Chains A and B, each alone.
Chain A
Amino acid sequence: MKPGLAIQPWGNYSLALAASVECLRVEPWTQRSTTPETLRLGVEASPEFACLSFKACTGHFIKAAQEGVRYGVMVNSRGTCRLRYYREIQQKILKERGLDLYVFGLGYDGIKPPLIRHFDPDLLPFLQCCARAQQKTLAVDALEKEAWRVRAVERQPGDATRVLNECLADLDRARTVPEIRACARTFKPRFRNVPLDEARLPLRIGLLGEATLLRDRFLNHNLEEILGGLGAEVRNFFLLGDEMRNIFRIGLFSRNSRWRLKRLARPYLEHLVGGHALDSVAHALRCAQEGYDGIVHVAPAGCMPEVSVRPILRRLSQDLDLPVLECSFDEHASHVGVVTRLEAFVSMLRERQENKTRTRK
């Protein structure tokens, strides 16, 4: 039997991440989102003021260890944010509880990350695997964009989500790069079959903030679907495809390269903060340029980088006449509370939209 490898749940990207470890001859152990049970386990074990992402991920590892998984993998960032210490503290927590799960760091520790060194895959399968994971990531990005667009104007609520899930299941089954590409080509036609309400004018809302919360549907209380159901076309600004390019320094001049974002954010923020704080500021400015109706800023409560740029977002919102809803999540966030805030936000945006069209006439 292959040993298990626990990977942090990261929304629909989880299937791409799972594909990336195939060549290591391990069984990926992941979920598309955190579950109430893993979150509970994480909250019990984590330091009180740790952020929600840490608690969720710790819970995931504890659950994995209880199920007999022996290994886990965690990003080992070199940034200024708390993420840097996640791996080590999670390892301590697991050890204290007598759980036997070794967490590999995925970071700049010599040329080969420790995970690769340990499992030592052959070069060719490894490269193939990387290519597949990359293709799957891009396919997920393309798929989500379609779903966001369709969900806002679908005639039958739930259609877009259903098609999205079908596509994801197919994508998960696709093994080789040509298969993945062929699968990705079917996405658009499938969404074309969803009956749309052409008369409806969707609002455009940008989602920005911290990466895990933006992508984990359980932790963010399914923001994307709630907003979509209220007739808003969301655009989630965390795209793993772009993030990977930034990590590997590919495409310096591409649209979302760190360099471009830094230049964009300069009038409001002159220095990198850590995490995705600079990206949030830059993307908020981009939303204003592209005529979005509003922004939802998503962060775990007390997130160090995101909270420190909130005064900047507030100023930017006033300067550019762009409403920003600040949503902080922790384990006590109530689903009803989140829905109410989103509904109020959307109805305010709707009113602004109507006022604008009226004055234009």
Chain B
Amino acid sequence: MRTSLATLFRRTRNASRNPDSLRRPIGLPQALFHFLHPGLWETFFPALGMPVVRSAPTTRATLERAELISETEHCLPVKLLDAHLEDLAGRVDRVFVPRILSLRRGFISCPKLAALPDAVRAQFRGRFEVVTTDMDENRRPLEQTLAELGRALGFAPADSAAAARQALAAAGAPDAPPDGKRFLLLGHPYNLGDAYLTEPIVRKLEELGVAVERLPTGPPRGAPDPLRWDTSAHMLEALRALSSERCAGVIQLTSFNCGCDSMASTYYRETLKAAGIPYMALTLDSHTALAGLDTRLEAFVDSIAGRA
């Protein structure tokens, strides 16, 4: 009830504004939530008639900037979000940062994502306005979330609903996995999706002549057992479906200080041990040295070749 009243209030307030101000551009950081629903927000806002300004893709400089401006104890993806937002400051007067509470009914998201819009508001006060919405599949499905966001931004209900449908259709299906025996690259979507973080690893593995598959993005399908964090449960589900005939090994990309992985890795290790699949975890932070990664990947691939 409270939410609907608030939405109503915001709608009337926004509608009284100049219609041009409704169509002011909105900034979308290419980090964190961008990788949870690839293509969703990039379609949704333009469908409403709001131009989208994206931050530049992650580079070494982004990483270094993130280390300087962000809370020291955050995990890498949240730090990177801050750097991407800083990139947008000055280019737009509002950015979008959702409050992600659950990606699928029955599951919950990492607690760090629940404070995100408030933390961003606190950190970037006066530099841009933060547009946000609660993404909570336990309360309402994604389509409704999008439609309500459209209405809250001052657009007509019919337009909002149409934009929501269009955005959901655009958030595409994952690529088909390669055939034959392969390595699985395991990790949260926001780590796997960032090309700057994964490209060197994929390239190195290809150099070593092994096929790699990235874990496709998506919410978990089954019931939460035992993990309730949605992205972690999705990873565990994927691991349980693996067989040692199809999978040569699993390489997990985890970010330093990732709270979910610190607990969930126990389950990953247990599952893979039972299935007889080799497993290695690579920890990423802003100091990650590529040469070190290369050595570890070579050693891992060599040791598996030796086993066979």
Contact = CB atoms under 8 A, between A and B. Distances in A.
Interface stretch (A85-93, A134-142, A151-159, A353-361): A85-93
A281 to B, nearest CB: 9
Closest 3 CB pairs of A and B: A315-B122, A49-B262, A274-B111
A269 B115 contact: yes
Interface of B: 71, 73-74, 78, 99, 101, 108-112, 114-120, 122-123, 125, 134, 226-229, 256-259, 261-263, 265-266, 270
A205 B307 CA distance: 60
Contacts of A305: 111-112, 115
B118 A268 contact: yes
A311 B122 contact: yes
Given A49-B258, A269-B118, A271-B134, A307 B112 contact: yes
Interface stretch (A76-84, A252-260, A288-296): A76-84
12 contacts: A49-B258, A50-B263, A268-B122, A270-B118, A271-B114, A273-B111, A307-B112, A308-B78, A308-B112, A310-B119, A314-B122, A315-B122
A316 B259 contact: no
A201 interface: no
A217 to B, nearest CB: 23
A312 B115 contact: yes
A302 interface: yes
A304 B112 contact: yes
Nearest to B101: A271
A338 to B, nearest CB: 16
A304 B110 contact: yes
A50 B262 contact: yes
A356 B258 CA distance: 43
Contacts, number: 106
Interface of A: 47-51, 79-82, 84-85, 88-89, 92, 268-275, 277, 301-305, 307-312, 314-316, 328
Contact of A308 (B115, B228, B261): B115
B32 to A, nearest CB: 13
A311 B123 contact: yes
A24 B115 CA distance: 40
A308 B32 CA distance: 14
A307 B116 CA distance: 11
Given A304-B110, A307-B71, A311-B122, A82 B262 contact: yes
B73 A310 contact: yes
A314 B263 CA distance: 28
A304 B114 CA distance: 11
B118 A277 contact: no
Contacts of A272: 114
Nearest to A309: B115
Contact of B114 (A268, A274, A311, A314): A274
Contacts of A268: 118, 122
Contacts of B119: 308-312
Contacts of A311: 71, 119-120, 122-123
A312 B122 contact: yes
Contact of A47 (B111, B116, B134, B263): B263
Contact of B228 (A48, A49, A84): A84
Tell which of B78, B226, B259 has the most Cβ of chain A within 10 Å.
B259
Nearest to B119: A311
A49 B227 CA distance: 17
A276 B300 CA distance: 41
A308 B122 contact: no
Nearest to A46: B262
Contacts of A274: 111, 114
B73 A307 contact: yes
Given A271-B134, A302-B73, A307-B71, A49 B115 contact: no
B226 A88 contact: yes
Contacts of B112: 304-305, 307-308
Contact of A316 (B111, B116, B122, B266): B122
A81 B73 contact: no
A277 B258 contact: no
B226 A304 contact: no
Contacts of A302: 73, 257, 259, 262
B227 to A, nearest CB: 8
Contacts of B114: 80, 271-274, 308
Nearest to B281: A48
